[in-house]
Amino acid sequence: MASPVLVTGGTGRLGRLVVARLQDAGCDVRVLARHDRGAPRHVSFFTADLRTGEGIDPAVSAVAAIIHCATSTRGDAEATRNLVTAAARAGSPHVVYVSIVGIDHIASWGYPKAKLEAERIVTSSGLPWTILRVTQRETAGPGDPAHKDGLAPRPPANDGRRLAPRPPSPHHPYRKRP
């Protein structure tokens, strides 16, 4: 069998979808997260904390690629540094980092700033890498009525129909003068 692919944060909103696509493609999938809360079926689960570095080494051992979806409100740069350091010790896996579209325009504060720094850590790691700057996506998660194995995308709120344009507010500060 081909070398496994590790999905960090594979129990999260995006990570679950990534795991499902990899499984559909016949990949041997590993998931890394701090808690095994309903991890997808038929994956090898590794309990690890990317921020402390605890438990990362066995998860990255002999993997062909790492799709880095793990995130939290704080410490993403530090977590990413711990991940790529462990990955480089283990070999030369391709690291795919999931970032946010337009991140370089909004990165002056907290979370986006940490993500931009995480991008820089990945690109300067010496490992082969890909940065994906993706748009916001609503996905079903545990506890959501639309959630089925964590993989069911939520239907559009308006049933797919276009919303009617709203008339401009007379109080809008930027409305055109008559």
Ligand X SMILES: NC(=O)c1ccc[n+]([C@@H]2O[C@H](COP(=O)([O-])OP(=O)(O)OC[C@H]3O[C@@H](n4cnc5c(N)ncnc54)[C@H](OP(=O)(O)O)[C@@H]3O)[C@@H](O)[C@H]2O)c1
Query: Which residue in the set 4, 5, 6, 12 belongs to the binding site for ligand X (CB under 6 A)?
Result: 12
Quick note: the x/- pattern for ligand X over 101-140, rule CB under 6 A, is --------------x------------------x-xx---
CB of 14 to ligand X, least distance (A): 3
Least distance between ligand X and beta carbon 93 (Å)? 17
If you search the block for the tokens 């997808």, which residue do you land on?
40
CB nearer to ligand X: pick between 35 and 120: 35
CB 2 within 8 A of CB 28: yes
Site for ligand X in 62-101 (CB under 6 A): 69-72, 79, 98, 100
What burial letters (b/e) apply to 30-57, b meaning 16+ CB within 10 Å?
A: bbbbbeeeebbeebebbebbbbebeebe
Nearest to 97 by CA among 118, 73, 77, 79: 118
Shortest distance (Å) from residue 178 CB to ligand X:
41
Residues 3, 112 contacting (CB under 8 angstroms): no
- Residue 132 Cβ vs ligand X, minimum distance, rounded to whole Å: 8
**Binding site residues, ligand X, CB under 6 A:** 8-9, 11-15, 32-35, 48-51, 69-72, 79, 98, 100, 115, 134, 136-137
